[in-house]
Amino acid sequence: MAFNYWSSGETTSVGIASGPTRLEYNVYRPDGIAIDGATHPYTVSSTGEPLTDDLKRKLDAIVQGVTRQRIEIYKAGKDAGLSVSEIRESLISFDKSLSQSYRALVGTSYMTDPSTRYVNPTHTELMGGPRQSE
């Protein structure tokens, strides 16, 4: 079964608590594939390839693999008793180590400076709900 971090049932099965902290939210949130939506059919921005179902599955598997690695770093840090800032630094270091081809695949919005990923607001915060503690 593919990860679907946005469905309420799936988040429980991968270990994210109800009402995640900002860090948890951004660890479990998968990257998006950068596509050129001005073309038809859509193309992958980094390669210009038409976005077929097969290619989307292949690229989703790559993105999910990176997300799984982030989750493992987060869980290992929690298990080791690291502080939120120490876990965040581990995650930033991981993101900085990602290949240029991966960065191009997902676009450069926050990959230019990976530290910005972990300060993005949660969905609840965007929708005006209470801010979750770190």
Q: Is the pLDDT of residue 47 over 60?
A: yes
Q: What is the CA angle 51-107-115, rounded to 5?
A: 145
Beta strands in 1-134 (DSSP E): 35-36, 43-44
pLDDT at 132: 53
- Domain presence at residue 102: yes
- Domain presence at residue 64: yes
Report the domain count for the chain. Answer: 1
Strands 43-44 and 35-36: antiparallel
| Helix, strand, coil share (%) of the chain residues, nearest 5 | 55, 5, 45
pLDDT at 82: 96
- What is the average per-residue pLDDT within 70-94? 95
- Domain presence at residue 133: no
- Domain presence at residue 45: yes
Rounded to two decimals, the pTM is: 0.76
Round the average pLDDT of the chain to a whole number and report it: 81
- Domain presence at residue 51: yes
- Domain presence at residue 117: yes
pLDDT at 61: 96
> Domain limits at 57?
19-125
Percent of the chain with pLDDT over 90: 47
pLDDT at 68: 97
- Domain presence at residue 13: no
- Domain presence at residue 87: yes
Model confidence at 130, pLDDT cuts 50, 70, 90, reads low
